[in-house]
């Protein structure tokens, strides 16, 4: 948003050049930048455009409309990507855990966007601070993502997500034996009124959110679920499963203090992430309309963790 500043020239500043006066008042900006504002008409002297070298008189009124800063654009970085498919319109990747999707909140590097820019160059698709990003996975969630390489692909895929035409399946390991083994969570979500970084089913302002699930296996203190989110709200799966009393194993935010036995807890602590993986993604190609289906296997750390927990709880692998 532009910032409007006003001054009345005091006698002590009379005979100063307009650009010099503003350089003194706006020390955080360079004189060349201020001169550009004057030339562009963003500075008015007594209600009219003026020249950079105009000499001021006592009582002159100056109004400067400081243009909003252009966002800092992310730069390409050589971050490895597991590419499952690519053509001129889209790319499908298997995102690893630990990789943030885009820059923001003080983060300018080390993101999926930085990796995308290195792999495919500048994309003319959407917000230049997050080009190509159609949907997101949490930092510690791994799995299948689709990236748009053109503006038309971004719009077409965005419509499919909005209209709930994209089919998504996740694997989640949760605490407890889930009953009933199949079900649907229909609970609107919104920002927690106390902790704005968290999402809650009890927020004042909420949006529709629906998640289906199916229990694949139960052993010891946990259950392995297939999860099918029909909407795409922030932290949706994590919050919905936690609301059932079955938070995702290893989730430090929505885990509710749940943990394994003293014997098993060190294994969870050593995992370094929560157990949520985007296993399958199905959508229509944004240009041809062809059905596209992609899957990503459990990453090594989750597969090994699952084998270890299953073995300790059941004595089998």
CATH architecture of 72-163: 2-Layer Sandwich (3.30)
Q: Which residue has the tokens 């994590």?
A: 238
Alpha carbons 274 and 259: distance in angstroms, whole number? 12
Alpha carbons 161 and 165: distance in angstroms, whole number? 6
Distances from the Cα of 219 to the Cαs of 111, 251, 274, 277, in angstroms?
36, 19, 18, 19
Task: With a cut of 60, say whether residue 317 has pLDDT above it.
Answer: no
CA diameter of the chain: 89
- CATH class, domain 3-66, is alpha beta
| Residue ranges of domains in the chain | 3-66, 72-163, 164-317
User: What average pLDDT does this structure show over 178-188?
Assistant: 95
Task: Spell out the residues 6+ positions from residue 89 whose beta carbon is closer than 8 angstroms to its own.
Answer: 148, 149, 150, 152, 153, 285, 286, 287
User: What average pLDDT does this structure show over 270-282?
Assistant: 94
Average pLDDT of the residues of the chain: 90
Active-site residue set: 138
Q: 131, 125 in Cβ contact below 8 A?
A: yes
Q: Which residue has the tokens 């070298």?
A: 53
Alpha carbons 132 and 125: distance in angstroms, whole number? 5
**pLDDT tens, 9-38?**
999 999 999 999 999 998 878 888 899 899
Query: What per-residue confidence (pLDDT) applies to 102?
Result: 79
pLDDT level of residue 315 (50, 70, 90 thresholds): low
Same CATH topology for 72-163 and 164-317: the answer is yes
Tokens of 21: 């006066």
Report the number of secondary-structure helices (H) and strands (E) in the chain: 7, 14
The fold for domain 164-317 equals: Pseudouridine synthase (3.30.2350)
- pTM listed for this prediction: 0.77
**pLDDT tens, 90-129?**
999 999 999 998 766 566 788 999 999 999 988 877 778 8
**pLDDT tens, 227-269?**
999 999 999 999 999 999 999 999 999 987 777 767 677 777 7
Label residue 316 exposed, middle or buried (CB < 10 Å: 0-12, 13-18, 19+): exposed
**Strand, coil or helix: 223:** strand
Nearest alpha carbon to residue 245 among 195, 168, 174: 174
């Amino acid at each position: 948003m532009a910032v409007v500043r006003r001054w009345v020239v005091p006698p002590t500043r009379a005979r100063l050049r307009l650009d010099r006066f503003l350089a003194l008042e706006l020390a955080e900006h360079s004189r060349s930048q201020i001169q550009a504002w004057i030339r562009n008409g963003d500075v008015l002297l007594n209600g009219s455009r003026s020249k950079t070298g105009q000499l001021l008189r006592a009582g002159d009124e100056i109004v400067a409309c400081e243009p909003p800063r252009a966002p800092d654009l992310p730069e390409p970085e050589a971050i490895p990507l597991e590419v499952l498919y690519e053509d001129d319109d889209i790319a499908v990747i298997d995102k690893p855990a630990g990789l943030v999707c885009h820059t923001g909140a003080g983060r300018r590097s080390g993101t999926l966007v930085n990796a995308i820019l290195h792999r495919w160059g500048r994309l003319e698709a959407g917000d230049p601070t997050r080009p190509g990003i159609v949907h997101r996975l949490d930092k510690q969630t791994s799995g299948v993502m689709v990236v748009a390489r053109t503006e038309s692909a971004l719009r077409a895929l965005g419509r499919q997500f909005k209209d709930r035409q994209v089919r998504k399946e996740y694997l989640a390991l949760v605490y407890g034996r889930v009953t009933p083994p199949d079900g649907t969570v229909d609970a609107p979500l919104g920002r927690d009124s106390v902790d704005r970084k968290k999402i809650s089913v009890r927020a004042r302002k909420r949006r529709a959110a629906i998640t289906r699930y199916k229990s694949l296996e139960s052993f010891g203190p946990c259950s392995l679920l297939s999860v099918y989110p029909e909407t795409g709200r922030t932290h949706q799966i994590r919050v919905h499963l936690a609301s059932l009393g079955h938070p995702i194993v290893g989730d430090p935010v929505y885990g509710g203090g749940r943990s394994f036995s003293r014997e098993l807890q060190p294994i969870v602590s050593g995992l370094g992430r929560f157990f949520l993986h985007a296993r399958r993604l199905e959508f229509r190609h944004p240009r041809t309309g062809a059905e596209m289906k992609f899957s990503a296997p459990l990453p090594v750390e989750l597969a090994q963790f699952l084998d270890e927990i299953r073995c300790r709880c059941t004595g089998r692998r």
